[in-house]
Amino acid sequence: MEEVAQSLNEGLALPATLAARDLVVARAGRELVRVERFTVAAGEVHVILGSNGAGKTTLLRALNGLAKAEGDLIFEGRPVRTGRDRLRLRRRTAMVLQQAYLLATTVRGNVESGLRLRDVAGPDLRRRADAALDLLGITHLADRRRDGLSGGEAQRVSIARALAVDPAVIFLDEPMASLDPPTRRSLIADLREIFARSSTAVVWVTHDTDEALAIGDRVSFMADGRIVQAGGIAEVFNNPASSAVADYLGIDVWLEGVVETGDNGANRFLLPGGAVLHCVADRSGPAFACIHPEDVLLLRQRPQPGDASLRNVLPATVVSLHPAGRSWLVRLEWAGGRLDALLTRAACEDLSVSPGERLYAAVKATAIRVVPRRQGGVGKGFVDA
Amino acid sequence: MHLILQGVRQAFELLIKGDAATYDIALRSLEVAAAALAIALVVGVPLGGALALSRFPGRRFLVVLVNTGMGAPPVAVGLIVALFLWRTGPLGGLNIIYTVRAMIIAQVLIALPIVIGLTLAAMQQLDEGLRLQILALGAGRWRLFILLLREARVPLLAAVMAAFGAVISEVGAVMMVGGNIEGQTQVLTTAIMQDTSMGDFAAALALVVILLLLAFSTNYAMTLIQQRGQKAT
């Protein structure tokens, strides 16, 4: 078992809090999920992404001990095999579902419920519940009963209940799926900060690519019960391993960087290599800049500086050409990394685009979509247990 | 009409004056029903819960048996219990036929399927996600059961009321195994039967009023508990 634990930790910056190898979930003779390898480490957000029915929830329940599975599951260095092991796993982790599933008591009672079930009592119980309520900004709701809460409030209570126990791993199964977009955005922004400050490992299941980009460090893309591609979030989004993954993620290019908001809306997106993009964003901080290939215009010559609508003019080199339906996908390289452009065949011929060619890529500042992302970092527990 | 008014007046006279025999009968009714209900709950709620939460071969058959039992005619239960407790029957040695104990046994058998069946239904209408959430919070089997009971308390109290209603108003089985012996095994329902058959309608009606008051007040108390914390609509 030690060997398995070691081999699963290979290539990871930190030893995995939870690791699975050759995990198989079968019901009534039918194999639902088969996963060769899955790990999540302290302070990391691992997103399981995929369409409905891909087996994401089934995998999550095998990982958190709610469902029986064949194969190796190692939690904090120890194998999980028996029902007793699974209870130990459940008592060190927490789960948030799409629905809040609050118990018939007050908000405080709910936040305390996980602690009580783990035999925390006395002043410790109150202190940790208070800290969790504060963390999610719901202290003012503490004495309310579940019936009067909005969907967003209820989900905050559910998350506070999960964080109050200071779990080694928190599992979230489509936690934003029943919330309206504004509620979703504010909750994701809060969670991004909360997770950045803590050492809890996070397994986040979603079908939503924006959500994955906003919260994830790593992503495992699932289809038909298997993880078909896994890796760093930008790596996977920029290099889909198959057309099935590409169809789901889209063909946009994702650049990692930092937004710097300036005066009079002049925002800059700073890339690691020192390159800069002009963009529109309402908040500074780490983010992804998403450039859709159809929004990239290729030019032979640098345009006249007077043309205000083309804010970014990037000298770029053609790397390769790929047929994409009736168009060509032109893969380019520039100072900031990668860039793709989608051109009609006629435009390609007109420009006589070929690998090695040096061109100018023009992208409007308004065409660059900026998605704030979480700040990496390993801190302490949520509730300093 | 005169008959009814006279009966009602007599009922309140008996109640207000504190007629010892009437109170004795009412108290025995309450005692038998409460004991039977308590035993049925202690046995039936865990069984109903287990039936709701577990999966095993033959489970469906058991559920059908329970559901059939919910509608079992009390006289049939009475006859079976009487046969078992008869002096020459398998349990004749206990020597409890025509005692309050025998009546309690019969009523437990009437209430038990109701309690099991309604507990099963109450627990099954809970969302599967709630069960998983409670498990993920760190509950073992026992605490899962307790928390689910609390979540299902509204339909569970309906089960308690249904079972209480069935036993307090039941007459066939208690008559058969208790024998309606005055001062010993006579309860409200059997006394009403006897008064009616002897033409003493006023006395019978008085006892009916007491029976209804008893049923109303216990159900009122349980409804208050049930609806506590529920939003008024």
State chain A's mean pLDDT as an integer: 88
**Minimum distance, in Å, between the CA of residue B67 and any CA atom of chain A:** 28
Using a 10 angstrom Cβ sphere, with 0-12 exposed, 13-18 middle and 19 or more buried, the burial of residue A374 is buried
Please state the φ and ψ torsions of residue A217, each to the nearest 5 degrees.
-100, -45
Q: Could you write out the DSSP letters of every residue in B8-77?
A: HHHHHHHHHHT-HHHHHHHHHHHHHHHHHHHHHHHHHHHHHHHHHH---TTHHHHHHHHHHHHT--HHHH
Partner-chain residue, chosen from A61, A118, A145, that has the shortest CB–CB distance to B138: A118
Question: Hey, are the CB atoms on B231 and A147 less than 8 Å from each other?
Answer: yes
**Residues in contact with B97: Cβ distance below 8 Å, sequence separation at least 6, in sequence order:** B82, B85, B86, B87, B177, B179
Helix B100-124 vs helix B20-53: angle between axes, to the nearest 10 degrees?
A: 40
Look up residue B24 and give its amino acid.
D
Longest dimension (CA), chain B: 66
Confidence (pLDDT) at B232: 43
CA atoms within 13 A on the CB side of A292: 10
* pLDDT tens, residue by residue, A13-53: 557 899 999 999 999 889 999 999 999 999 999 999 999 99
Mean pLDDT confidence for A115-142: 95
Q: Which two tokens stand for residue A177?
A: 């799926």
- ipTM of the complex as predicted: 0.79
Q: Is the pLDDT of residue B222 over 80?
A: yes
A39, A197, A240, A332, B196 from A11: Cα distances, Å? 11, 24, 21, 30, 89
- Residues of chain A contacting B139 with CB distance shorter than 8 Å: 117
A338, B110, B114 from B40: Cα distances, Å? 73, 9, 9
Q: Is the pLDDT of residue B137 over 70?
A: yes
- Residues of chain A contacting B151 with CB distance shorter than 8 Å: 103-104
Confidence (pLDDT) at B132: 96
**Minimum distance, in Å, between the CA of residue B221 and any CA atom of chain A:** 21
Pairing of strands A45-49, A218-223: parallel
Pairing of strands A201-206, A169-173: parallel
* pLDDT tens, residue by residue, A295-341: 898 988 888 776 656 579 899 999 998 887 778 889 999 998 889 99
Flag whether residue A175 sits within 8 Å of chain B, measured between CB atoms.
no
Confidence (pLDDT) at A3: 57
A258, A382, A385, B210, B217 from A379: Cα distances, Å? 21, 9, 13, 69, 59
Residue tagged 């008869």 (tokens): B86
* pLDDT tens, residue by residue, A251-271: 888 888 999 887 666 688 999
Q: Are B178 and B99 in contact (CB under 8 A)?
A: yes
Confidence (pLDDT) at A137: 94
Q: Are B193 and B203 in contact (CB under 8 A)?
A: no
Pick the residue from chain A with its C-alpha nearest to B132: A66
- Residues of chain A contacting B136 with CB distance shorter than 8 Å: 64, 66, 90, 93-95, 171
Confidence (pLDDT) at B46: 94
**Residues in contact with A178: Cβ distance below 8 Å, sequence separation at least 6, in sequence order:** A98, A99, A151, A155
Q: Are B12 and B83 in contact (CB under 8 A)?
A: no
Domains and CATH numbers, chain B: 2-232 (1.10.3720.10)
Q: Choose, out of A27, A63, A98, A103, the residue to mutate when testing the contact with B (most B CBs < 10 Å).
A: A103
Flag whether residue A163 sits within 8 Å of chain B, measured between CB atoms.
no
Edge-first strand listing for the sheet containing A369-372 = A276-279, A267-270, A253-261, A285-291, A369-372
Chain A with chain B: Cβ pairs closer than 8 A = 50
Q: Which two tokens stand for residue B162?
A: 């249904």
Please state the φ and ψ torsions of residue A337, each to the nearest 5 degrees.
125, -120
- Residues of chain B contacting A94 with CB distance shorter than 8 Å: 136-137
Reduced to 3 states (helix: H, G, I; strand: E, B; else coil), residue A24 is strand
